[in-house]
Homo-oligomer: A and B are copies of this chain.
Amino acid sequence: MDQPSTPIQMEGPVCPVPLRHNEQIVLGHGSGGRMTNDLIRQVFQPALSSPALLEGNDFARLSLPEGAALQGRLITSTDCHIVSPLFFPGGDIGRLAVCGTVNDIAVSGARPLYLTAGFILEEGLPIDTLHRVVQSMQAAAGEAGVQIVAGDTKVVERGKADGLFITTTGIGWLPDQIHIGGERAQKGDVVLVSGSVGDHGIAVLAERGELGFTTEIKSDTAPLNHLIDAMLQAAPHVHVLRDPTRGGLATTLKEIAEQSRVDIQLEEKAIPIAPGVRAACEMLGFDPLYIANEGKMIVILPEDEADAALQALRAHPYGVSAMRIGAVLPGQSGRVSIRTPLGATRVLDMLAGEMLPRIC
């Protein structure tokens, strides 16, 4: 790793003591003193170098998009990430922490611009683990086109946390002409999903060894902002966008139905579910409609733009298996129902308790 670029003559150590990758986090790394400084300069800044981070203040100065300032609003969202284990097929806590917050911003219709990241580390965490996570964050941020501009690190004693928790907060910019929100679903609208559901939850479960068999399922963790941009070009009048994370497709649609005071009906056979996810859910007694996703979104939009939206989604790597899965009915009771292949209808409520803790 590089030394910081501005060596200064001073008493005490002239340059920070290089951290060895086989070292572990100790309480001193959270002291706010020299060791915190070394960790920032040697682990965080080299990976996450943005102009704001390099200024070395406790705050970041940010610019708004050129000329946009008076015709829009800021969008912000925050998410804590506590997934266990830290690494899983298709992702890790770092990629998840970036994508989760990028997606929460992007489903408002806004352009995600900046992220902050707060790290709570357990004493004893290998510094190499932190390295890998931070590099994964930077890769995901690069893919999404956002800058990580501010951070904080705290360390707690062994046994007072579980390795590493990351809280990210995003800031985006929403031009005034975009109107997307959970309260805007209307009767006659069409419901799309951008791809198969349940992959993330099952991939994490499998990595924990809780399936009892091996599976090829990978987490779908991905930043959706470019997919959304492409879709909004083709279908500019989208009413609702939301990423069905914790609680899955069913809980998210139920939230939307309540917010918009509409009824929503799904067609079970239209909902894309990977064979491995279906098999795992059947064995474990889970309903895949309640399993978390981290790279999928629900789209609710007028019928006349549905085909154009589907086409745009399927043309993007993160939307190839997008499907039309249901419709908004004339009722106003906030009910979500699903029609089975045999023609029966069952009602979907929100997830009641906790099926899969520590999934995100």
- A residues neighboring B (CB under 8 Å): 8-12, 26-28, 30-37, 55-64, 69-70, 73-82, 104-105, 107-108, 110, 114, 116-120, 149-157, 159-162, 165, 167, 169, 171-172, 174, 181-183, 242-243, 245-247, 251, 255, 258-259, 261, 290, 292, 333-335, 347, 349-355, 357-358, 360
Contacts and interface: CB of A to CB of B under 8 A. Distances in A.
A108 B353 contact: no
Contacts of A349: 11-12, 34
A159 B358 CA distance: 14
Given A153-B80, A161-B162, A354 B171 contact: no
A242 B172 CA distance: 27
The number of times this chain is found in the oligomer is 2
B162 A61 contact: no
Given A8-B258, A118-B167, A59 B104 contact: yes
A353 B35 contact: yes
Given A33-B247, A247-B32, A350-B37, A76 B62 contact: yes
A62 B74 contact: yes
A34 B73 contact: no
Given A156-B162, A350-B33, A78 B118 contact: yes
